[in-house]
């Protein structure tokens, strides 16, 4: 078996792309999208018709409404290819607005309902700010499942689990980028700080009985992926899926509930004050969360300009 086939024995594979052809090629169970991926996709000739159709069919609506429709159109098409769930992101500009995030999520789910997509097949992606986590807590009570993104630290992960979020997406590669830049060192295998962060979160969840799924995200190389074999899910770009499919090097399970229960992790009591202080004490998590929100906001603005040019 190649590495991708071996990995599928331990972990659910998710395609991190808005490209339908890549999703068909690698047969993942789930797929994730974000503003950057959708922006990239709609600039390709094969996906421009989806953008043009969203603008044409909703000509009387606002740019924001047309973009929501575009996101749902991509999600609906992806769900025709995969057996599982698709993740659709809320507007990153709502990252510090609990009520705004809840409204946006409800609207996206309503649009999926209108397209006859069962809500259990959709995850609403929300930034893992305190306000975003509070929005997820409200939405989960309404059976709107949430994927908590831009997650870089254990306190963020604990707060998401205590809010009963369906799934979190800790960002391995961006953590690696920060440490590589700040220390000037290369990291590989089990020494990679991004890998260590996800292992710690997974172990904490399994040791203390949290049901929230852990989906490693934002990978830079296949070593980061194979070091997390056994994680609940891993969302992987088409380029890295291809590399895994081309390699027959052995993949061994690195994460398991048994190893998690044997860890020496201690339970952390977390309220808003503790969350904000612990996040502030973690320079990497603070900087990467802020940067990630800014980048997603910038790509949302670019997507708006593309829509407005056709509107």
Query: In 80-192, where does DSSP find H-type helix?
Result: 98-114, 130-141, 154-162, 172-183
Q: Would you say how long the chain is, in residues?
A: 311
Residue 125 annotated among the catalytic residues of the structure? yes
Q: Which of 125, 207, 254, 288 is catalytic?
A: 125
What DSSP assignment string belongs to 54-103? HHHHTTTS-HHHHHHHHHHHHHHHHHTT-SS-EEEEPPGGGTT-HHHHHH
Residue linked to tokens 């990252």: 95
How far is Cα 253 from Cα 111, in angstroms, rounded to an integer?
39
Query: Which of helix, strand or coil describes residue 17?
Result: coil
- Rounded CA-CA distance 137/293 in Å is 20
Where do we find the tokens 């994927």? Answer: 147
Give the C-alpha separation, 311 to 308, whole Å: 5
Q: Cα separation of 278 and 154, whole Å?
A: 9
Q: SS3 of 220, please? A: coil
- Selection from 303, 299, 304, 293 nearest residue 94 by Cα: 293
Spatial neighbors of 118 by CB under 8 A, at least 6 apart, are none
Q: CA-CA distance, 28 to 261, in Å (whole number)?
A: 29
* Residues labelled as active-site residues: 125
């Amino acid at each position: 078996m190649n590495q991708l086939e071996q990995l599928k024995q331990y972990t659910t594979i998710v395609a991190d792309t808005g490209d339908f052809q890549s999703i068909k090629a690698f047969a993942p169970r789930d797929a994730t999208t974000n503003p950057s991926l959708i922006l990239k996709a709609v600039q390709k000739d094969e996906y421009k018709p989806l953008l043009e159709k969203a603008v044409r069919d909703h000509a009387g609506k606002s740019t924001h409404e047309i973009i929501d429709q575009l996101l749902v159109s991509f999600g609906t098409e992806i769900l025709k290819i995969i057996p599982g769930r698709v993740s659709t992101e809320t507007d990153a500009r709502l990252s510090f607005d609990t009520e705004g995030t809840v409204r946006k999520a409800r609207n996206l789910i309503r649009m999926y309902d209108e397209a006859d997509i069962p809500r259990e097949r959709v995850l609403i992606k929300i930034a893992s700010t305190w306000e975003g986590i509070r929005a997820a807590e409200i939405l989960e009570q309404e059976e709107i499942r949430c994927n908590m993104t831009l997650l870089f630290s254990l306190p963020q992960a604990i707060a998401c689990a205590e809010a009963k979020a369906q799934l979190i997406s800790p960002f391995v590669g961006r953590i690696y980028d920060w440490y590589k830049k700040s220390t000037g060192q290369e990291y590989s295998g089990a020494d990679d700080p991004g890998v260590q962060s996800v292992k710690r979160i997974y172990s904490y969840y399994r040791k203390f009985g949290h049901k929230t799924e852990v989906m490693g995200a934002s990978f830079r190389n296949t070593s980061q992926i194979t070091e997390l074999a056994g994680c609940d899910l891993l969302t992987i770009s088409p380029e890295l899926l291809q590399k895994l499919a081309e390699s027959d090097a052995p993949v061994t399970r690195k994460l398991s509930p048994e190893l998690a229960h044997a860890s020496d992790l201690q339970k952390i009591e977390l309220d808003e004050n503790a969350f904000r202080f612990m996040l502030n004490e973690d320079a990497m998590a603070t900087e990467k969360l802020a940067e990630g929100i800014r980048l997603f906001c910038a790509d949302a603005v670019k997507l708006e300009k593309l829509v407005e040019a056709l509107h």
